[in-house]
Structure 1
Amino acid sequence: MSDRIVEFDIAVIGAGIAGLISAQSLRCLGHSVVVLEKSRGVGGRVATRRLYDTRADFGAPFLEPRGRLSQPLVQVLSRAGIVVPWTDTVYQVNEGDYPMNPAATLSAPYYVAPTGINAVGKFLARHLPIWHCRRVQTVTPTDQGKWHLELEAIAESKDAAVPLAVQAKAIVMATPAPQAVMLLESGESGLPGEFVDRLKAVEFDPCISVMAGYPASKQRELVQGEYRGRAVGFPPNSPLRGMFWQSSKSSDATQPVFVLHSSAQFAEQYLDATELEPVGRELCDWVGEAVFPWLKEPEWMQVHRWRYAFCRRPLTEPLLTTSTPLPMVCAGDWCGDRQIETALQSGLAAAEWVSDRLGGAPMPPLASLWEAIAQEK
């Protein structure tokens, strides 16, 4: 064990939406919290990448304000100028059917962040102590009634003062269930077998995301032609799940950028591929056949593989909890089937469960939580 140990009431593993909302709730209740995140950013699959003087949302493409929690969140973000309405129509490309047709008119528009959807994660991360580039290696109970977490400083983190261990009275595990299983089986956690088995039962589908940029002249063509296909779906048997006109999210975009999401069946073929550029080319070729021929020839392209993109077999409850040997709760968008709404519900429920186990105060109204987050920049 490391001799550099910092103690907190709660350690939150994962800075996705569920982990951030859980940590914020616990902080507002007066608990000392640390968020441990293996990457450099926050938000999980609410992710944006900077590339070629632009940005691309290569995970969640938008926010959908249709839930009990996501609707007030979008209202808060909208008042803060972080998100704006984007489109109220989803288009569909059917086999042998071009041009594409509107598939659905939404009761409320999708919202996007002109500066990148990761602005949502950054908002939820305000005021939180987040240790970036820290991978949790083992989780073990101590004789003093605390969890001991051994950490690894990822290569990107050069800070010599990075603590190498944390101890906490409780843990919120806010990672995809398969990642939680790998961590909890890597050491002597002392967790009940039934608890781990229920995590193992959760299954995910993968997705390959392609970010592709095209000549500036094509952006003018799209705007002048009043192209409306901001969000486009594809047939179930195609290699594509969706196409999103990224550059329509910002009024100052100078070149068209599209983000393609593959189907799960297509992504399954490339889970172990070391070279993803040919995979991206294949998807660009396919969307070029289905929508615009020039989409086959991007000026630049980046490809990202999501191993845990969409939960195929979710937990049917908002939480997975145990007090043996010590309090631990697993939460995330895999605790249901509504993605961001589920992540918010699960994260809040995790905070309430943990605070109750530690003898904390009851949860405050949601409005006061949003106010507390928004108060300071």
Structure 2
Amino acid sequence: MKVAIIGAGIAGLTSARELTRHGVQVQVFEKSRGVGGRLANKRLEWGNIDMGAQYFTARDERFQKQVDQWREQGIVACWQFNPHSLRSGELTTRPDSTPRFVGTPKMNSLAHALSQNIDIAFQTRIERLERTKDGWSLVAADGHVIQERYDWVVLSLPAEQSKVLLSGTPVECQIPEQTHVPCWALALATLGDVPAEIQGIFGDEVVSWVSRLSSRPQRHFQDKESRQKGLGNYDDLWMLHFSSEWSTAHAKDSAVNITQAGLEWLSAALEKHVEKPLQVVHDFKHYWRYARVKDDKAASSIIADRSSGVGVIGAWSAGGRVEGAYLSALDFVDYFFHEDN
């Protein structure tokens, strides 16, 4: 059996790994130059930045088992801190026992671990699927037709993109529309003396979450070369995730100065905790069009059709979050392939 998987995020890579273990021949297609999806890490001249998910949690026993293995391998570490919350302009905190985990030395280390021994075609955006008598044919965005024929095609993409690619198939009507909301992500490298206990902030209607990237375990943002060039001379590195409402109102083509908006928000939030206003040394922003799912409490569902050989997986089909991506892949593989192989 031959299976094509489109998308090299956690769901796609987990399904590829599990299918390979069952003796299935798997080929993964990824539009970008690397793995990880929303665990993306951006390597800049002045530092390495986790642009997407800032941490993950584990509630299901199956995912907890995988997290434990990753921790033993040094791929994952526990980020222990009490998050702050912004309430009426004031930062408050209270004891928080939620175990939060991060990939080490960067978030997409999880994806790199899952991608070992998996055949991945990078920088290959699949634009069209065609059903032939010999199986599924894939057509890339540049018009190139993949010569291989596949018994199954599994999409590990945002629901909106999956629905377009699977138009006319039996599962199209099962894929919801407008599942995701956008998010502006802004990295700020700053000068300023901020108390060490402020590591994460649950925000408000403008900025929903802030990570103090430089406080997370096993993070080395300022390499020797960047320091020699004078590019790594800063005290902290922050990641601001703007709220979906604010990001929708100020979309990718907005004239709003995202960096200035983020700096003003962070400065106001930290005003009573620093002696001097923060100074920005470097900044970088990224617009996530498909950032978060609207309903993160949606029940897990398997979307697939045996007769036509198509499946759809991803965090959005299992309540969101990194754990949801992982479990959606396990559920799909267990249900459709375990007994057959």
Question: Residue 63 of structure 1 contacts residue 74 of structure 1 at CA under 8 Å; is this kept in 2?
Answer: no
Please list the CA deviations of residues 223-242 of structure 1 after superposition, one character each: whole Å capped at 9, or x if unmatched: xx4x212121013xx21010
Counterparts of 1:149-298 in structure 2 under 5 Å?
Answer: 149-152=138-141, 164-185=146-167, 190-192=168-170, 195-201=171-177, 203-215=179-191, 218=192, 221-222=193-194, 225=195, 227-235=196-204, 238-249=205-216, 250=218, 252=220, 255=234, 256-273=236-253, 278-292=257-271, 297-298=279-280
Structure 2 vs 1, CA of residues 275 and 304 (structure 1 numbering), >3 Å: closer, same or farther? farther
Structure 2 vs 1, CA of residues 90 and 137 (structure 1 numbering), >3 Å: closer, same or farther? same
Structure 2 vs 1, CA of residues 171 and 275 (structure 1 numbering), >3 Å: closer, same or farther? farther
Question: Residue 202 of structure 1 contacts residue 334 of structure 1 at CA under 8 Å; is this kept in 2?
Answer: no
Q: Distance in 1 between matches of 2:259 and 2:36?
A: 24
Using structure 2 for the length normalisation, give the TM-score. Answer: 0.87
The secondary structure found in structure 2 opposite 1:347 is helix
Residue 355 of structure 1 pairs with residue 337 of structure 2: yes
Q: Distance in 2 between matches of 1:166 and 1:152?
A: 16
> What corresponds to 1:318 in structure 2?
301
Residue 121 of structure 1 pairs with residue 111 of structure 2: yes
Structure 2 vs 1, CA of residues 117 and 295 (structure 1 numbering), >3 Å: closer, same or farther? farther
Please list the CA deviations of residues 251-309 of structure 1 after superposition, one character each: whole Å capped at 9, or x if unmatched: 65563100000100011023341667x12321221121122476764111111111111
Structure 2 vs 1, CA of residues 242 and 120 (structure 1 numbering), >3 Å: closer, same or farther? same
* Gaps in structure 2 of 5+ consecutive residues: 223-233
Counterparts of 1:324-343 in structure 2 under 5 Å?
Answer: 324=307, 326-343=308-325
1:36 to 29, 32, 45: 29
Counterparts of 1:99-110 in structure 2 under 5 Å?
Answer: 100-108=91-99, 110=100
Paired residues in the alignment total 324
Q: Distance in 1 between matches of 2:277 and 2:318?
A: 35
The secondary structure found in structure 1 opposite 2:318 is coil
Question: Residue 150 of structure 1 contacts residue 166 of structure 1 at CA under 8 Å; is this kept in 2?
Answer: no
Q: Distance in 2 between matches of 1:153 and 1:51?
A: 28
Question: Residue 133 of structure 1 contacts residue 153 of structure 1 at CA under 8 Å; is this kept in 2?
Answer: no
Q: Distance in 1 between matches of 2:55 and 2:310?
A: 31
- Cα RMSD (Å): 2.4
What is the letter of the counterpart of residue 239 of structure 2? V
Question: Residue 139 of structure 2 contacts residue 145 of structure 2 at CA under 8 Å; is this kept in 1?
Answer: no
Residue 78 of structure 1 pairs with residue 76 of structure 2: no
1:20 to 13, 30, 55: 13
Q: Distance in 2 between matches of 1:198 and 1:163?
A: 27
Structure 2 vs 1, CA of residues 191 and 280 (structure 1 numbering), >3 Å: closer, same or farther? same
> What corresponds to 2:230 in structure 1?
none
Question: Residue 171 of structure 1 contacts residue 328 of structure 1 at CA under 8 Å; is this kept in 2?
Answer: yes
Q: Distance in 2 between matches of 1:68 and 1:275?
A: 46
Using structure 1 for the length normalisation, give the TM-score. Answer: 0.79
Residue 48 of structure 1 pairs with residue 41 of structure 2: yes
